[in-house]
Structure 1
Amino acid sequence: MGLFMTLEEASAEEAALLRVGALPEAAQREKAEGRLRVFDLHCDTLDRLAFHGDPTVPGGFAEHDAAVPRHRMATLADNDAHISLARTAGFAWCQCFAAFIPDEVRGDAAWSLFERVRRVWERELGRCSGSLSAVRTMAEVGTVHAAGKTAGMLTVEGASFLEDDGSAEGRLDALADAGVRMLTLTWNGRNAIGSGHATTDGLTAFGRAMVRGLERRGIAVDVSHLNDAGFKDVCDAAARPFAASHSNARAVCGHPRNLADWQLRELAAHGGIAGLNFCRDFLSDAHADPAPDDVLRHVDHVLETVGEDMLALGSDYDGCDVPSWLDPCDRVGDLHALLARQFGSAVADKIFFENARAFFARLEEGGRSDAPVR
C-alpha cells in the first residue's frame, strides 16, 4: 500500500467509513500526510473550459483563450489553464469551482449559462473520477483527501438568473440540489439582488429575501464584488456566516473590490471568511507584477486587524492575471513557505486550509465563530 489509501486498498472497515465520510479526522490527516493542504475559495476554471471558442458569451473567455488549442482547454485533468488536476494532485486540495454569470445576461438566459457550466462540471466529475470528487460537507473533504483525490465544491459568481418573477425559489432549490455551496450575489454591476462595486445601490428587498433563502438552504452568501452599501445590507440581513471569497485589504491596495477595515471586522463578527485574491490589480497599486512582499502586506494587515482565524485563500485563478511567481496553481507551495517563514507554520496552515474548513463547518452548523475580534 502506498502513502495514500484508496477505497480499493483500504480494509473493509476503513472503506465503509471512507464512503460515508466517517473516518475520524485524525485518521484522515494521517492518510493525507505528506501533502500540503490547500482550500481555495474561488477560481474560474470551469468557465474557461465551458466557454472556450464561443464569442457569444460575455466575459472575454473566448477572446482571452483564442490562441489556446481546443484540446488544451478541454478537461480539468490536464490543460493550459491555471488549475488542472495534474497540478493539484501533489496536494490535499479542495477547490471551489465557480460558475461565473456575466452582468450582461439576465433571467432565463443567465440560468442557461449556469446550466451549461454545471454540465461541464458533471462531465468532468465523470471523466476524472479517479482524481476528483465533488463534496458538500467538510467530512467529505477529509474522505476525498484520504483517498488521494482533489475535492471540488461547486459555487456561483453572479446571481443575475435570480429575478423577482416567481422563479427564484425554484432556482434556489435547483442550486442546492446541484451541490452549490456558495453564491456571489452580484458581479460588478446591478442585478435584481443588488449592486456590484461599479455602482452605488445596496440590496433590494428581493435581495434581502434571497440572502435568507440561501441561508435556509445552507448555501454561503458571498459578498465579494458587492459595493459598500450592499455589504452593510448583508450585515443587517444575514443570520449565518457569510464570505468574501476573493477580496483583499483596501488599506493596502485601494481598489474598491478590496475590503475596508470595518468590513473585515464585520466579516469576523459574523463568523465569516475572506479569501486572499491573487489578482495583480487587487494586490498592488504600484507594481504590475506584484512581488511576495505585496502579498505579505495584505496578510499582515488582515492578521493585525482581525486576527488569524478569518483569512483564507481566494486565488481567482483563471479569472485574472496573477503574479508570475504564483502562476500556475502548483506554485502555491512557495506562498505557504513564505507565510510560514513570516508568520509561523500554524498561521500558514490556517490560511491555506483550516480557516476555510472551519467556515464551512460553521455554516453546516448554522453558527458563528466565538473567536475574538481585535
Structure 2
Amino acid sequence: MPFETAPTYIFDLHCDTLDRLALHKSFPDAGFMEQDAAIPDARMSSLASNDCHIALDRMAKAQYAWCQCFAAFIPDHMSADWGWQVFCAVRDFFQSQLAEHAALIEQVHDARDIRGIVDNGKCAGMFTVEGGSFIEGSLDRLHAAADADVKMLTLTWNGKNAIASGNVTTDGLSTFGAQVVRAMEQRRMVVDVSHLNDTSFWDVVKASSRPFAASHSNSRAVCGHPRNLTDDMFRALVDRGGIVGFNFCRDFVRGDGADPTRDDVLFHIDHFLKLGGEHAIALGSDYDGCDVPSWLEPAQRVGELHTLFAHEFGAEIANAICFENAAAFFERNEVL
C-alpha cells in the first residue's frame, strides 16, 4: 500500500540475507553461517520474519521506500559446479519468497521500475551475486544468471577465481575475466569491483567501457584496509560514472575493530565528497555478512544514517547518498 506519510528513501547495494536464510543447515559442507546453528529453523526460513539483520516485515513497519540488493554469495573455495549449486539454491529460495510475500516485495526486472515499486510500499528486491567462482571456462552460466535478472556481479570474493583476484591475492584480471566483463556489459549486468585487489581493479578499468560499481567499499585513506578504495580508485569510479556503496563493516570503517561511532562514518563520507563523489556515494551495508556498528543494527535503524547525513551535509546530499545516486545509476544502466 502507498505510504500515509512521506517515507525515508533507502537504496542498499549489498546484503547477505538470502544466503543466511537459504543455506541455513542446507549446505553444511560449505561452511555457511555456523554461528546460526543454534537458531531455530522457524526463525531462519522466511525473508519476511527472521532473526537476521534484514526482515521484510520490520522494514515495512519502519516506513521505508526501500530498494535492496540481495546477493547470492559464492565463496572462492568452491568449484564451479559447487558454486552453481549454491547459486541455484539461493535463486530458488528468492523466487519462493517473492511468491510467498508478494505484498511486501517485488523483484526488480528493469531498474526504471524501482521508484514505482517502492512508492507502492513494497521492497524493490534486486538480485545480485557476490563471487563469480561458478563461472569458469564458459559464459553459459553468466548468461543464465542474466536470464534470472541478476543485475550486478561482484567478480571475486577475497581470493582468486577464474575471472580475477581478490584483495588477499596478487594476480589480476584473467583473459577469461576480460571476456566476462565484456559479456556482463552486453547483458547490462553491472560489474562490481568490491573485493578485488588493486591490480584486478585497474585491469577492470582497462577492460570495461561502461560505468561500474564498488557495491560495498570504503575509503582506504580513512581506514587502511585493502578492501577499501584508494583515492585514485574512487576518482576512477567517479570519472566513469560509477557508484560506491558505503560498507557498514566495522573493520572497514575504523582500523582498530572497535564499534564505529557516527563520526567514524562521517569521516569516510566527507572524504569521498571532497574527492568529487557527490553523485557517486551510496549505501552498501553488508547487513547479514559482517558485524556492523551497534547503532545501525538491525536494518530498520538504517534511517539514522539519513538523519546523520542531513544534519552534517544537508537534505539534498542525504537523499542522494541514501537513494537517489544508486537509483539513477541503475536507471542509466538500462539505457546506456
Query: Which category of TM-score, normalised to the shorter sequence, fits these structures?
Result: over 0.9
**Whole-angstrom CA distance in 1 between matches of 2:293 and 2:23:** 24
Going from structure 1 to structure 2, the CA distance change for 1:57 and 1:341 (only over 3 Å counts) comes to: farther
Secondary structure at the residue paired with 2:302?
helix
Kindly provide the amino acid, as one letter, of the partner of residue 204 in structure 1.
S
1:204-232 CA distance string (max 9 Å, x none): 00000100000000100000000000000
Query: Gapped runs of 5+ residues in structure 1?
Result: 6-30, 367-374
Task: Quote the residue 2:324 is aligned against.
Answer: 354
Asked if structure 2 preserves the Cα contact closer than 8 Å seen for 1:276 and 1:312, the reply is yes
Deviation for aligned residue 1:287:
4.9
Q: What is the number of residues matched between the two proteins?
A: 334
**Whole-angstrom CA distance in 2 between matches of 1:39 and 1:87:** 16
Task: Quote the residue 1:271 is aligned against.
Answer: 241
Instruction: Select 2:74's aligned residue among 101, 108, 112.
Output: 101
Task: Quote the residue 2:300 is aligned against.
Answer: 330
Secondary structure at the residue paired with 1:306?
coil
Asked if structure 2 preserves the Cα contact closer than 8 Å seen for 1:51 and 1:57, the reply is no
In the TM superposition, 1:39-50 aligns within 5 A as: 39-50=11-22
**Whole-angstrom CA distance in 2 between matches of 1:154 and 1:251:** 31
Q: Please tell me whether residue 38 in structure 1 is matched to residue 10 in structure 2.
A: yes
1:137-182 CA distance string (max 9 Å, x none): 2321122123211110000000001111xxx322122111101000
Asked if structure 1 preserves the Cα contact closer than 8 Å seen for 2:249 and 2:286, the reply is yes
Q: Please tell me whether residue 149 in structure 1 is matched to residue 149 in structure 2.
A: no
Instruction: Select 2:52's aligned residue among 68, 81, 87.
Output: 81
In the TM superposition, 1:19-38 aligns within 5 A as: 34-38=6-10
Kindly provide the amino acid, as one letter, of the partner of residue 36 in structure 1.
T
Kindly provide the amino acid, as one letter, of the partner of residue 219 in structure 1.
M
Asked if structure 2 preserves the Cα contact closer than 8 Å seen for 1:32 and 1:148, the reply is no
Task: Quote the residue 1:91 is aligned against.
Answer: 64
Instruction: Select 2:253's aligned residue among 267, 277, 283.
Output: 283
**Under a length normalisation based on structure 1, what TM-score does the superposition of the two structures give?**
0.87
Deviation for aligned residue 1:57:
4.1
**Whole-angstrom CA distance in 2 between matches of 1:58 and 1:276:** 28
Kindly provide the amino acid, as one letter, of the partner of residue 252 in structure 2.
F
Going from structure 1 to structure 2, the CA distance change for 1:330 and 1:163 (only over 3 Å counts) comes to: same
Give 1 or 2 for the bigger CA radius of gyration: 1
Query: Gapped runs of 5+ residues in structure 2?
Result: none
Q: Please tell me whether residue 65 in structure 1 is matched to residue 48 in structure 2.
A: no
Task: Quote the residue 2:133 is aligned against.
Answer: 160
Instruction: Select 1:235's aligned residue among 205, 222, 238.
Output: 205
Deviation for aligned residue 1:60:
3.7
Asked if structure 2 preserves the Cα contact closer than 8 Å seen for 1:264 and 1:306, the reply is no
Asked if structure 2 preserves the Cα contact closer than 8 Å seen for 1:32 and 1:145, the reply is no
Kindly provide the amino acid, as one letter, of the partner of residue 70 in structure 1.
D
**Whole-angstrom CA distance in 2 between matches of 1:140 and 1:362:** 12
Tell me the percent identity: 55
**Whole-angstrom CA distance in 2 between matches of 1:205 and 1:169:** 13
Instruction: Select 1:135's aligned residue among 108, 112, 116.
Output: 108
